[in-house]
């Protein structure tokens, strides 16, 4: 590992130059997509919608996407380290988001980089492992809860949709089952066999991180911390609103319940390990929207506009923010007071 004030190189983590190269690659990919939209005869409907786009709604979509990025920063700071000032939290949070866009790691690379930086600033590794699990559960849990509630409401006829109940009941049942299963993990997860070997220690560390992370997520929610709760909700809700504004700019917003369900189902494409989820998220959203009744041309145009903002903002701002990391790495954070830590877990986690 080579670390200096001018350059940061960590195994598996790119420096600013590498991130800029990846940003350029994503720009080229999007450029190729837009050229295809401009010339392919089958995409005439998409071209027509872009030609008739309402600029004001596109600007609003961009602003909502920026607000979603700030909500991510808020929940990241609230979960990982509230002793970090807001300016530093902004740069670290944007670096995490930019890395998630630019690295083909399905969203794990940015979180790993953020944890590495905080560890060098003095946050204990065991605490970071637990909080990483809690952070993932808090941010993704909003999507699963939306799928369970909205899908269930559509399947039972409580929400207007007009599609087959099977198309809405299945994601609702899967999301509800996942929520119950994750909540039960501290009780049902088998404890690994004891031992001093490397494998035994690794299994024990994973067991403790997962079990305590689930408890930590629950404690953070029930503690009523407004930054954590509002950040987790705002991160998804503002992103959904940005997609809705893109629809308003290029066509008409689909029925809200079907729109929300298609959003959370389509976002699963982002789990495919591609830089920025390019191809996975786009294809997933377009396919889910079409499945739930949105015309294909309208869905494709809105998703392309929305994804340009969703990828472009964190990629650009994250590339700029990573240049501030050497200054963060030179600092040491004071330990959080016991009252500021969120959870009391069975395996002690240093604060």
Lowest-pLDDT range of 32-41, 87-96, 122-131: 32-41
Closest CA to 244 of 236, 232, 256: 256
For the chain, list the strands marked E by DSSP: 2-3, 8-9
Helix 86-102 to helix 108-120 angle (10° resolution) is 140
> pLDDT at residue 18 above 80?
no
Q: In the structure, what pLDDT confidence band is assigned to residue 99 with cuts at 50, 70 and 90?
A: confident
Q: In the structure, what pLDDT confidence band is assigned to residue 344 with cuts at 50, 70 and 90?
A: very low
User: DSSP label at 10?
Assistant: B
The secondary element (H helix, E strand) that includes residue 27 is helix 16-39
* Residue bearing the bigger pLDDT, 81 or 338: 81
Query: What pLDDT, on the 0 to 100 scale, is given for residue 17?
Result: 60
* Residue bearing the bigger pLDDT, 6 or 27: 27
Query: What pLDDT, on the 0 to 100 scale, is given for residue 32?
Result: 59
Which residue, chain included where needed, has tokens 């997520």? 217
pTM exceeding 0.85: no
- Residue-wise pLDDT for 145-173, tens only, equals 999 999 999 999 999 888 889 899 999 99
286, burial (CB in 10 Å: exposed 0-12, middle 13-18, buried 19+): buried
Query: What pLDDT, on the 0 to 100 scale, is given for residue 8?
Result: 41
Query: What pLDDT, on the 0 to 100 scale, is given for residue 308?
Result: 87
| Residue 66 to residue 310: CA distance in whole angstroms | 8
| Residue 251 to residue 52: CA distance in whole angstroms | 9
| Mean pLDDT to the nearest integer, 243-265 | 92
Lowest-pLDDT range of 101-105, 235-239, 253-257: 101-105
Give helix then strand counts, H and E, for the chain: 13, 2
| Residue 158 to residue 27: CA distance in whole angstroms | 43
Query: What pLDDT, on the 0 to 100 scale, is given for residue 312?
Result: 85
> pLDDT at residue 215 above 70?
yes
> pLDDT at residue 334 above 90?
no
> pLDDT at residue 113 above 90?
no
Query: Are residues 124 and 349 in contact, defined by beta-carbon separation less than 8 angstroms?
Result: yes
> pLDDT at residue 29 above 60?
no
């Amino acid at each position: 590992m080579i670390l200096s004030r001018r350059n940061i190189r960590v195994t598996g983590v790119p420096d600013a130059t590498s991130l800029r190269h990846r940003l350029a690659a994503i720009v080229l990919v999007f450029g190729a997509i837009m050229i295809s939209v401009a010339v392919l005869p089958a995409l005439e409907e998409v071209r027509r919608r872009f030609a008739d786009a309402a600029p004001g709604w596109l600007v609003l979509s961009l602003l909502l996407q920026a607000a979603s990025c700030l909500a991510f920063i808020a929940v990241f700071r609230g979960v990982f380290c509230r002793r970090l000032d807001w300016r530093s939290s902004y740069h670290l949070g944007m670096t995490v988001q930019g890395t998630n866009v630019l690295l083909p790691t399905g969203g794990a690379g940015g979180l790993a980089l953020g944890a590495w930086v905080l560890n060098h600033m003095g946050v204990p590794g065991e605490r970071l492992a637990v909080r990483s699990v809690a952070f993932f559960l808090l941010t993704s849990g909003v999507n699963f809860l939306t799928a369970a509630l909205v899908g269930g409401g559509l399947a039972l006829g409580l929400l207007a949709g007009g599609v087959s109940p099977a198309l809405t009941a299945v994601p609702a049942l899967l999301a509800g089952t996942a929520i119950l299963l994750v909540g039960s993990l501290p009780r049902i997860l088998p404890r690994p066999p004891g031992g001093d070997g490397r494998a035994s220690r690794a299994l024990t560390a994973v067991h403790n991180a997962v079990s305590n992370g689930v408890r930590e997520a629950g404690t953070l929610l029930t503690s009523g911390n407004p930054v954590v709760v509002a950040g987790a909700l705002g991160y998804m809700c503002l992103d959904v609103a940005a997609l809705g504004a893109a629809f308003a700019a290029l066509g008409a917003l689909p029925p809200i319940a079907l729109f929300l369900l298609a959003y959370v189902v389509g976002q699963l494409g982002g789990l495919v390990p591609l830089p920025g989820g390019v191809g996975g998220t786009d294809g997933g959203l377009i396919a889910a929207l079409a499945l739930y009744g949105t015309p294909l041309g309208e869905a494709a145009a809105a998703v392309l506009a929305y994804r340009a903002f969703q990828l472009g903002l964190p990629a650009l701002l994250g590339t700029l923010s990573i240049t501030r990391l050497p200054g963060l790495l030179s600092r040491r954070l004071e330990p959080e007071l016991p009252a500021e830590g969120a959870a009391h877990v069975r395996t002690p986690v240093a604060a």
